[in-house]
Amino acid sequence: MLALPAADPGLLFWLFAPLHVLGLISVLLTRLPRASRVHALCHHSYFAFLFIVAGATMFTILTRSPWWVWSGTTFSVMCVGATAEWGRRIPGPVF
């Protein structure tokens, strides 16, 4: 497969920086403790940003841009941040 020519690094930064910030904010909003319509909207936005960041990562890899590292890191932090348990340990039932 032929790689696409590298895009302008400054342009890629200004396109992807807000995307990465919004993706990380969506992780924090997904971790809200209450279930409501807003919470469901946060979950949907999280998955949307997860797919967008994955697409941005693939795009930067195909263009051989060094920004793939930031996109990949954001994707990884989004995956771990949404699934990690940060609260107190809740004791389970005793048999």
Q: Which residues form the domain of 15?
A: 10-83
Q: 29's torsion region: left (phi>0), alpha (psi -120 to 50) or beta? A: alpha
**Residue 83 in this model has a pLDDT that exceeds 70:** yes
Contact 53, 75 (CB under 8 A): yes
What pLDDT, on a 0 to 100 scale, did the predictor assign at position 95? 65
DSSP letters spanning 33-53? SS-SHHHHHHHHHHHHHHHHH
pLDDT tens profile 8-24: 767 777 888 888 899 88
Determine, yes or no, domain membership for 70.
Answer: yes
C-alpha to C-alpha distance for 38 and 69, rounded to whole angstroms: 32
User: In total, how many domains does the chain have?
Assistant: 1
* pLDDT value for 88: 63
Q: Which amino acid is at 76?
A: S
Q: Could you report the per-residue pLDDT of 23-38, keeping only the tens digit for each?
A: 889 888 888 777 778 7
Q: Is the pLDDT of residue 7 over 70?
A: no
92 in any annotated domain: no
User: Residue 87: what pLDDT?
Assistant: 66
